[in-house]
Amino acid sequence: MNDDQWANACFETRAIHAGQDPDPGTGAVITPIFQTSTYVQEAVGIHKGYEYSRTDNPTRTALQTALASLEGGAWCLVYASGLAATQNLFYLLRPGDHVLLSDDAYGGTYRLVAKVLAPWGIDFSLVDMGDLDAVRGAIRPQTKLVWVETPTNPYLKIVDIRGVADLLADHPARLVVDNTFASPYLQQPLAHGADLVLHSTTKYLGGHSDVVGGAVVGNDPAVFESLKFHQNAAGAVPGPMDCWLTLRGIKTLGVRMDRHSANARAVAAFLGQQETVERVFYPGLETHPNHAVAVRQMRDFSGMVSFTTRGGLEAAAAVAAQTKIFQLAESLGGVESLIEHPGLMTHASVAGTGAEVEATLVRLSVGIEHVDDLLADLKQALSVVAEAAVPAD
Ligand code: P1T
């Protein structure tokens, strides 16, 4: 089958096969790691489509073809990290242009915009993208990019992608959706009107916490040409081994996301019953303010759950230190469960900006271990905190 024929296959089948036909030279079923920096030319300018691996590499091409297929886009570019992909997208802007950024976005995205790009003349404002009236009010004639994360990091707010796209119908701004928390198995933003999709492939797409990478997917050929030019000129490319690891990860994306979602649903329900837990943030809960939008645009609700504890920062940090299966670490989306304190870890760079997170917030990346073990681990960690909060007789 060729790529056009795979286009008609279901998601799980494309995850395994799109862009990943057996190697024509050897019959290898798995795409080889083309660990080469350069390619021999028959004569000057006569070659098989590859000249130099900053520009293109066959393992990278396979990953790009697969991800474009999974997001339903015409093209994909992959990068050395999610932030390298984000930076590349900002080359679409010029000094004086304005960006609308989600007020609850990954701290590193905020840091790139506020601390690196703003000094070069890119203007930005933060807005609660869940409030479409607020988005409408914040759009300016100079707005060229609207940056949505959904679900957001770390409060798991849900943004109505179609709603924001409709607001931009008569405006030249491009709508970018960071789809890292959902993955294309659960949500395909282009189908809801987004212009571009961004991923930290480090997370669910890679799926095994063994590789850092990023991706952008879109349909507009002019945007592809511009991004490709800038990526080649500036050089933020992933190595072939990293592309191969990500390709291997996406083959199991569907089964992993089903299990992540089922486990997270159980964890969110459990946390909601605990006295030491104040509030639970999970888009799969019917009490989530945008649950109806999540149902409309997502297949399931993914594996991220956040909650606030009673008892202040000490209690939140203590829970994060007490879990045994949930390992205390930044990042998310791997098969193993992780726990972290966003205020002191992933979102420390938003401190003092007005977009900071609560000191009592804890974020879980719920893995695919057995759910009974995960619930028991959280129970013992929360009980230690509860005991510490009760004064001894
Ligand atoms: O780490 P990197 O591959 O560069 O991706 C950046 C990034 C982009 N978008 C979202 C939604 C993200 O969550 C991230 C990275 N986030 C973490 C490392 C974290 O622990 O939240």
Atom of ligand 1 minimally distant from the CA of 214: 3
Same domain, 99 and 132: yes
Is 235 in a helix, a strand, or coil? Answer: coil
Same domain, 245 and 259: no
C-alpha 368/C-alpha 366 separation (Å) is 7
Buried b (16+ CB within 10 A) or exposed e, 31-54: bebbeeeebeeeeeeeeeebeebe
Contact 385, 379 (CB under 8 A): no
Atom of ligand 1 minimally distant from the CA of 84: 4
CATH number for the domain including 70?
A: 3.40.640.10
Is 79 in a helix, a strand, or coil? Answer: strand
Same domain, 242 and 323: no
Q: Which of 230, 250, 270 is the last residue of a domain?
A: 250
C-alpha 302/C-alpha 362 separation (Å) is 17
Same domain, 226 and 158: yes
Same domain, 63 and 125: yes
Q: What is the pLDDT of residue 392?
A: 42
Query: For ligand 1, atom 16, which residue shows the shortest CA distance?
Result: 331
CA angle 343, 347, 351 (to 5 degrees): 70
| Ligand 1 geometric centre to CA of 39 (Å) | 33
Q: Range of 32's domain?
A: 3-250
Same domain, 262 and 351: yes
Same domain, 216 and 67: yes
Q: Which of 218, 250, 282 is the last residue of a domain?
A: 250
Q: Would you say the C-alpha torsion 225, 227, 228, 233 has a positive or negative sign?
A: positive
Atom of ligand 1 minimally distant from the CA of 332: 20
- Give residue 31's identity as a one-letter amino acid code: T
CATH number for the domain including 313?
A: 3.90.1150.10
Digit-by-digit pLDDT tens for the chain (393 residues) are 777 788 899 999 999 999 999 999 999 999 999 999 999 999 999 999 999 999 999 999 999 999 999 999 999 999 999 999 999 999 999 999 999 999 999 999 999 999 999 999 999 999 999 999 999 999 999 999 999 999 999 999 999 999 999 999 999 999 999 999 999 999 999 999 999 999 999 999 999 999 999 999 999 999 999 999 999 999 999 999 999 999 999 999 999 999 999 999 999 999 999 999 999 999 999 999 999 999 999 999 999 999 999 999 999 999 999 999 999 999 999 999 999 999 999 888 777 777 789 999 999 999 999 999 999 999 999 998 777 665 444
Same domain, 36 and 90: yes
Question: Parallel, antiparallel, or unpaired for β 327-328 and 143-149?
Answer: unpaired
Buried b (16+ CB within 10 A) or exposed e, 326-339: bbebeebbbbebbb
Same domain, 205 and 264: no
Q: Is the CB of 276 under 6 A from ligand 1?
A: no
Query: Residue 34: CB partners within 8 Å, gap ≥ 6?
Result: 53, 57, 58, 59, 240
Q: What is the pLDDT of residue 204?
A: 98
Same domain, 242 and 277: no
Strands in 196-200's sheet, in edge-to-edge order, are 75-79, 214-218, 196-200, 174-178, 143-149, 98-102, 123-127
Q: Is the CB of 149 under 6 A from ligand 1?
A: yes
Same domain, 353 and 302: yes
Residue appearing with tokens 């009107």: 193
Q: Where are the alpha helices (DSSP H) in the chain?
A: 3-6, 11-17, 58-71, 82-90, 107-111, 132-138, 161-167, 221-234, 240-251, 253-272, 291-297, 312-322, 371-389
Is 261 in a helix, a strand, or coil? Answer: helix
* Count of structural domains within the chain: 2
Mutate to test the pocket of ligand 1, among 148, 202, 338, 362 (most ligand atoms within 8 A of CB): 202
| Ligand 1 geometric centre to CA of 181 (Å) | 9
Residue appearing with tokens 């504890």: 309
Query: For ligand 1, atom 13, which residue shows the shortest CA distance?
Result: 106
Q: Which of 309, 260, 302, 271 is nearest to 284 (CA)?
A: 302
Same domain, 23 and 128: yes
Q: Which of 224, 250, 276 is the last residue of a domain?
A: 250
